[in-house]
Structure 1
Amino acid sequence: MLQTVIVASLIGGLMGLLGHVKKKGRMEKPRMTKRFIYLGFWEDIAMGTTASILLVLSTEPSSSFQLVVLSIIAGYSGEAVLRSFDFVRQQQDSIEQPVKDNERQAK
């Protein structure tokens, strides 16, 4: 399991870096402004790594080929994958909320 997470994080980070270069056209270095710290390419590496780990842990790939493919997809589209996880969580919360309200009214 640990090997799976390590491989997923490495591939996801590399694909996040490649996605950053494709999106921006170059590697942007981290910089500080008066109010904000812009992480540059490190931000996309972190997004790709996180998305890849979350996707691999949630799907539990059965072969190394599936692991590599899922890591590539998640790493390259890291921000979209993380948004989809947030969307799923919001949907589950909205489904559970009326049930909790009904239970409170029944008491």
Structure 2
Amino acid sequence: MEMYQWLTAVLVGGITGFVSHLINNQGKLLLPRRLKTFFHLGFLTDIFTGSLAALLGLVLFDVTLIKEIIKVSIVTAISGQTFLLHQALGGEQAKNTQIGKADEKIQEIDKLLRR
């Protein structure tokens, strides 16, 4: 594959990741920042994810025309973002379920102690 194909996929995937970041955060740009335990990359994470997904799509689908490269890059970058959002949502749902179970146990113990 030619270098321009790789660069096009990275650029289109990065732009798609950036737009996805703005959409998911109601138009706010989350800047990179250092937290107590780790470094949060903010919008750079979405750009990197979009670019990486676009490169993966370029390799998997083996496209050569610039029009096809752009299409595949956009679709795979959006798919990559969607996958990560789905994983985060699943984690939040599992956490909420565990919190609900803990609340029920606390209420049961509280009822037993009030007797």
Pick aligned residue for 1:65 from 58, 63, 67: 67
**Are 2:42 and 1:40 aligned?**
yes
Greater Rg over alpha carbons, structure? 2
| Aligned match of 2:110 | none
- The sequence identity of aligned pairs, in percent, is 28
Number of aligned residue pairs: give it. 82
Deviation of the 1:61 alpha carbon: 1.0
Give the TM-score normalised by structure 2: 0.65
In structure 2, distance between residues paired with 1:30 and 1:62? 35
5+ long unaligned stretches in structure 1: 83-107
| CA deviation map 1:2-28 (0-9, x unaligned) | 111100000000000000000111110
| Aligned match of 1:14 | 15
In structure 2, distance between residues paired with 1:71 and 1:6? 11
Give the TM-score normalised by structure 1: 0.70
Could you tell me whether the CA contact under 8 Å between 1:18 and 1:76 is conserved in 2?
Answer: no
In structure 2, distance between residues paired with 1:41 and 1:62? 29
